[in-house]
Structures are given as structure tokens and as C-alpha cells.
Structure 1
Amino acid sequence: MIAIFLLSIFLLTTPIAIETASERDVLIDFYHSTSGADWISQDNWLSSTVPHCQWHGVLCDDQNHVIEIQLYDNELHGPLPTTLCHLTHLKTLYLSFNSINGSLISNIGDCSKLENIWLKANKLQGNGGMLP
């Protein structure tokens, strides 16, 4: 009976931890996809002891959900990962003045809360060639 009670408590509290870990995993994927080791500022990124909401350029709400990524002019290069839209609370993506390449992720429409996306002066391509 005690085991069932403890399992119930675990299951009731686990989704928050899983969601937080999932957001951390998305950020780690983003870091690797955009060559994070070469960024100008990468303070706290990939730290196992610093919460992801304290990583350089990551802004979170009161529930520790990522709502904004601000990494403009930071030497990001490589494609944006398709996992980016797994940040279900993401409202702003400010990545101008980097060298992000490839195409805009095909599932960008799945970023349901994304309101602002700043990708000026990158190397993204669309059907018509390089985007301005």
C-alpha cells in the first residue's frame, strides 16, 4: 500500500520534471546544431549544475518555461534544429546577425506561441535562394 502511495506521488510530480528536462534537451540540441562551442558567449550552457533558465540568452517565465532565446550576433552557425518547436512556450526567437544556414525549419508553424522571430543577417535559404 505504501508503494502504491509513493508511486502515485511520483506520477503526480513527475510531469513538471519531465517537461523541464525536455526543454533542457531541446536547448542542448539547439546548442549542438548551431555549433555552440564556437559561440562568443555561451555562459552556463550545458552546465549540469546551473538551471537552463540561467544559460546565456535564455529567458524563462515564472514556471521555468523557455519563452525567449536571445543570441543575436553571437557566432551561431549551422541549421536550426527541428526540435526547436518542442519549446512549447517560446514566444521570441532573436537570432539576427549570425551565420545560421539551411532552410527555415519546416515545422515552424508548430511553434504555436511564437510571436517574434528575428533572423536578419543570417544565411538561411528558401525556394528562391538566399533570404535577405
Structure 2
Amino acid sequence: MSRRADQSESLERALDGGPVPHDEDTRQMLAAAGALEPGYRRSPARVRATKEAMLREYARAQNPQETREDAGSGDGLDEPEIHREEIELPDGGHLVLTDIEDITPERAEKMAAHVARVLESKERDRQS
């Protein structure tokens, strides 16, 4: 048997999962074959699960749920009341507070004082 045929057989056995040959030529051929093999394999279960999820979403988009007659009534999802308070700032500016909770006079004064402090500190920074 020729050396070439022997190398071919040992390469075939190694590619089929047999023992790895010790000669350098066959090792290089195995490395080249490994470089041609994809680095990852797709899992058939994941491919099937992805396809099923896509088909479910397509069916859901094609058959939307029916609108309820009583939707939005008594289910706690009514529009909340928006509270609004306008406050004059010391330098002549206006502060508008909006919230879904009640705005108490104490809260309004506290926010006005905070905004006035911020504005005052920024004015001093510009002058330095």
C-alpha cells in the first residue's frame, strides 16, 4: 500500500472520530478540515421552538382579540386627575407644578424654595 493511500485512510478514520494519527501531514490535513467545519451547530429543538413562536405571533396578529363592550369602565384603569399649580418665583419667573397626587401648599412652597436656590446658585456661577 502506498504512503498516500495510508495517509488517506488514517485521515478518514480520524475524521470519523477514530484515533488521531501521529504523522505531521495528516495532522495538518485534520487542522485544515477543522477550519472548514462551522464553529457552531444549530440546535434542531431551538429551530423548532423559534418557528413555533413565529407562527403563534403571526396567528395572534392575524386574529386580534375582540374589544370588550365594558372596556375601561370600573377596571381601575381610568384616566387619573392631573393636579396643576402655578407659583411666582422671587425673581419674577413662573414655576408650574403638575402631579397626579394633590399638590399641598407646603409642597408647592418647598419646591419654589428649592428652584429659587438652584437658580440663585447658577447666577453666582456665571459671575465668577
TM-score after normalising by structure 1 = 0.21
The higher-RCO structure (CA 8 Å, 6+ apart) is 1
TM-score after normalising by structure 2 = 0.22
- Which is richer in strand? 1
